[in-house]
Every structure is written in C-alpha cells, then in structure tokens.
Structure 1
C-alpha cells in the first residue's frame, strides 16, 4: 500500500475515496487497477517518491534547494525562470530521468496492460518530453511570451517545494523529488500547461483534457489539501462534466447545435 495512515495522510485516504466516487464509472475501472494507488501516484508527488537508498553517493543539499527556490521566487519574467530551472536541471542527467521513469513503471507493473500502457505514455511525456522541451527552449534563448511575468502562484509553489524537499531530506536524499518539482515548474509556470499532460488517464476512464483553450481535470479540486501536491498550482480547472475521451465528440456536436440555433434565432428570425 502506498499510503501510510499517519495523521498527515488520513485526509488523503478520504480524498482518494471521493475521487473514486467522482470519476468512477461502472465497467470502466481496469480490473485490479487499485484506483487509490494510481490516484495517489498522480496526485501526491511527495508520497510517490520512493527512490532506492544509496542511489546517489552524495545526499542532496536541502539548503541548496531552498536557495534555488528563493532564486526562482525572484524571477521577474518567464525567461528568467526558464534560465534558473535550466541551470538546476543541468545537475541531472539521462540516468536520473530513466531511473524516475523506471520507478514509476515498477509501481504500476501490476495494472492491466492496456491501462498501464496509456498511463506510462503520459508519464514518459511528463518526464522526458518536458526535459527535452526545457533544453530546447533554454538553448534557443527562450520563445514567445518569455518577457511576461510568471503566474503569481510561483511564489507559493517555490515555498512548497523548499518545504517538501527539506522534509524529504530528513528521511533520505531529496534530489529525485527536487527533479520532479523542477520539471513541473517548467511545465506549469513557463509553458502554462497542466502538470499531467492532456490525455493522462485516471481510474474510471476520465482524462486530463483540453477544450476551447482551457485545460480540464476530473480530480483537480479533490487534491487541494494534499500536502506537497502539484494540483493547487496547476492551470487545469476542475471539470464540470465528465472528461471521458468520447466526450470531445459530444461537445463538438453540442457546439454545432448551439451555433445552428444561434443562426436561426439571430439571422433567420
């Protein structure tokens, strides 16, 4: 079981139960998938970090991480933030990314193959694609809108990262956890995209979706009270209707009907 029932995690158990009720649909849960475990991995970044002890020779410095977080808080533009994140990520290599992905693969190895493959595809995008885009953007000197200020939530995000990594350092090296937060900071505050890519499947069949320029998540509001989670800072909004993949076609049909009704009302009397 990935969730230890301590005082700080009892709320998470309740939240995950709510998520299961919210996004579950009869016949859609993959058999034996363990919805609570999957949701915990997706929502609770801190709890999902369980790298092997001794994986790095030198433990990560919590003080160095706190210093870097203060620098990120001082970023006046997205370009400034990009350069700081790129500098921090430069301390990691491909092995670190592969190890992060391998740990997640082991944790979900018991899931049904079809669901597991869809989930792992999203996780690989979250890790490797984010890293690749970060390198390209930083090497090319940034891109459009890099002169804009980052979202004001960056300040609280950096404080959360510093606190989470300091807490992790009391148990073991916080280096791997810090890498997760750096990649997510790039995705959320530089790219302004959801922490989990569009298409990420949740137990029950719903996905992180995009519709008419807005990002939608079926579990966004259920994770605000989870310590050290990414969700409170994610640009995805809580979906107000189910986000099953087939819902896109239904939304398009609805928009077409609305447009047709508007045409007949305003132009044809």
Structure 2
C-alpha cells in the first residue's frame, strides 16, 4: 500500500495533466473516492476540533460554511462523477496559470510539517482532501474556494456580485504560502 507521500506525488501530476474542466472533475473525483467513510469522519472531526474553539456567535455562523466547503463540494463532485456529468464538460480549465500555481502548492502544502499546512485536518492525506475539494470548487465549478456567504471576523463574508466573487481576506493570506486564497478566483473586497 503506498504511503501518503507516494499517493500525493502520484495525484498531483495527474491533476496537472488535465486540460478540461471535465477531465479535472473526473481526476479529482477518482482521488476523492479513495477516501473511506472512516477517513471522512476523521476529516470532519478535525474540522470540528478547529471550529469549536472559535468564539460565539462567529463559531455558529461559520461552521455550516466550513462543512459546505469540505463536504458539500465532496458530495457535488461525487454526484457529478457517478452521473457522468464530467463527460460533457469540455471547456478548458479557467485561468491555466492560476491552476498551475494551485497544483504546484499541493505537495508541499500536504507534506511539509509546518503549522499552516495541516488545516487541523490531521495529516497529509486529509490535507490533500482539502485541496481536492477546494480545487473542485474553484477550477471545475468556477466558484471561490470558500463558499459564498462564508463569514469572517469583522462582519464581512464572501459575496457574489454578478459573475464576480468578492472576499474580505483574499489578499490578506499572501504570507501563508499554502493558502488556497493565493489561487482563488475571488477578488479582494474593497475597503476591507
């Protein structure tokens, strides 16, 4: 059985080779289907452990969006995979340069042993899950990494205005090298 590093180093070039949204959706879903129910429970427990210390009322407002970010995207990807929806998605992956930056950050984001690389999910493969579902949301669905409505401290939230996504923290994560914010299609919200 391959270890986490082998699995990650096999998955990343496969994702990078994808040219269309459908190819990428299928590749992501094939990686996601390798996670067992137990793995998903561990990831959910890690998320809970990260969210529980947040102060109220922020914790109660944010929790459903963090759950949606991980498990909503997971379920949408698996549903599309099982229904064959990816076969009809022959449009090129949007913003190839941004996609390539995303794929390049995944190996170190999963495998480096630094505080900002684990996201509290409990290990390299669980961090890979995080990148897979956010990559799905951004590059297959064309949305932001954090779901629309995700609240952030200060009373601001991710918004959609027409075809644009606005985020209150988009440009504030530049110092965190493995943050999805650095490759997210959302724009920085003005005045925040």
TM-score, length-scaled by structure 1: 0.63
- CA distance in 2: counterparts of 1:100 and 1:147, whole angstroms: 32
- CA distance in 2: counterparts of 1:64 and 1:110, whole angstroms: 32
1:222-241 pair list within 5 angstroms = 222-241=172-191
1:100 and 2:43 equivalent? yes
Residue of structure 1 in register with 2:151 after alignment: 201
Residue of structure 1 in register with 2:76 after alignment: 133
- Which structure shows the higher helix fraction? 2
- Counterpart of 1:109 (choices 49, 52, 57) is 52
- CA distance in 2: counterparts of 1:144 and 1:83, whole angstroms: 8
Residue 173 of structure 1, CA deviation = 4.5
- Alignment CA distance shift 1:212-1:178 (3 Å): same
Residue of structure 1 in register with 2:166 after alignment: 216
- Alignment CA distance shift 1:81-1:199 (3 Å): same
Q: Which of the pair has more CA radius of gyration?
A: 1
Dislocated runs of 4+, deviation >4 Å: none
Conserved? CA contact 2:22–2:87, under 8 Å: no
Larger relative contact order (CA 8 Å, sep ≥ 6): 1
Residue of structure 2 in register with 1:164 after alignment: 109
Deviates more, 1:77-86 or 1:103-112: 103-112
Conserved? CA contact 2:25–2:86, under 8 Å: no
Residue 226 of structure 1, CA deviation = 1.2
Q: Secondary structure at the match of 1:196?
A: coil
- CA distance in 1: counterparts of 2:13 and 2:49, whole angstroms: 34
- Alignment CA distance shift 1:188-1:64 (3 Å): same
Conserved? CA contact 2:138–2:185, under 8 Å: yes
RMSD: 2.4
The superposition leaves residues 85-141 of structure 1 with CA deviations (integer Å, 9 ceiling, x where unpaired) of 111111102332332222222233233443211110101111111111001111122
Q: Secondary structure at the match of 2:177?
A: coil
- Alignment CA distance shift 1:68-1:118 (3 Å): same
- Counterpart of 2:128 (choices 158, 172, 178) is 178
The unaligned stretches of length 5 or more in structure 1 are: 1-57, 243-269
The superposition leaves residues 190-224 of structure 1 with CA deviations (integer Å, 9 ceiling, x where unpaired) of 01111111111111110011112211001111112
- CA distance in 2: counterparts of 1:111 and 1:159, whole angstroms: 31
Conserved? CA contact 1:130–1:183, under 8 Å: yes
Residue 71 of structure 1, CA deviation = 1.1
Conserved? CA contact 1:59–1:174, under 8 Å: no
- CA distance in 2: counterparts of 1:91 and 1:183, whole angstroms: 13
Q: Secondary structure at the match of 2:156?
A: coil
The unaligned stretches of length 5 or more in structure 2 are: none
Aligned residue pairs, count: 184
